Amino acid sequence: MKIALVGTGRMGQAVKTVAEARRHEVVVQFDEHRPVLDASVDDLGGAEVIIDFSLPHLAVDHIKRYTDWNVPAVIGTTGWYDRLDEVRSYVLDGGGRVLYGANFSLGVALLSRAVKAVLPLLNELEHFDAFVHEVHHTNKVDSPSGTAVMLGNLIVDGLDRKSTFETNAVQGRIDAEALHVSSTRTGSVFGRHTVGFESDVDELTFEHRAKSREGFALGAVRAAEWMIDQHGFFSLDDALDQWVNRT
């Protein structure tokens, strides 16, 4: 598989390493010195798929360009989901081929499915409150992370007593219907996400800790392998569902 890599930072380099280990070829790389938006489809060097870990303010324009080129793309960039409906419509109307994910770690995928599975029972146990906390390195661009927002939405959608979530520092009492999604930025932490459910007598926590960027890169490359034969607009969950059903 021939890959065009967009974003040559640490995450992009991890993707390149994993892709080559799986016998794929990165034929071209784009970054701030060689912007995608200045390129044409001929500049892709015959790439069969694009993997994009760039910047949030570029993501929507990048996706529209990939749709216009009719080249399948895997989008690991977060921080643009407030425009998700707009992007979905553009991709589907234009016959594009796009898969996006807040976090390509397969461990995070397991975390989110475990949380989703326990929510129906917690709906009946009203004495449990919920929270989400994430920790990332100091160079992380978005706060809270896309993964924390994804987990927050999962809880708000599945827990009747939560109708919204609060991502700012809370000064004083928090609304009982608000889920607190908090963030810490420190050192070089790759990513730590904790979902907690707490009552007066006990606490249940689900946590994922990334040990390196390789886990995220592997998920992105596997998603790119899957996208070669797909048409439409997908989340990582769509690919996971097919992998699970095959198993």
61-90 as b/e: b if 16+ CB within 10 A = ebbbbbbebebbbbbbbbbbbeeeeebbeb
Distance CA 106, CA 112 (A): 10
DSSP, collapsed to helix, strand or coil, labels residue 9 as coil
Cα–chain center distance at 77? 7
Please confirm, yes or no, whether 140 is among the known catalytic residues.
yes
Contact 115, 157 (CB under 8 A): no
- Measured from the Cβ of residue 167, the count of other Cβ atoms closer than 10 Å reads 17
Distance CA 109, CA 43 (A): 34
DSSP 85: H
Distance CA 62, CA 55 (A): 10
User: Any alpha helices (H) in the chain, and if so which ranges?
Assistant: 10-21, 56-69, 84-93, 106-124, 146-158, 214-227, 236-246
Beta-carbon contacts of 179 under 8 Å, excluding residues fewer than 6 positions away, are 130, 131, 132, 152, 155, 156, 159, 162, 164, 165, 166
The active-site residue out of 16, 64, 133, 136 is 136
First to last CA, the chain: 23
| Residues with catalytic roles | 136, 140
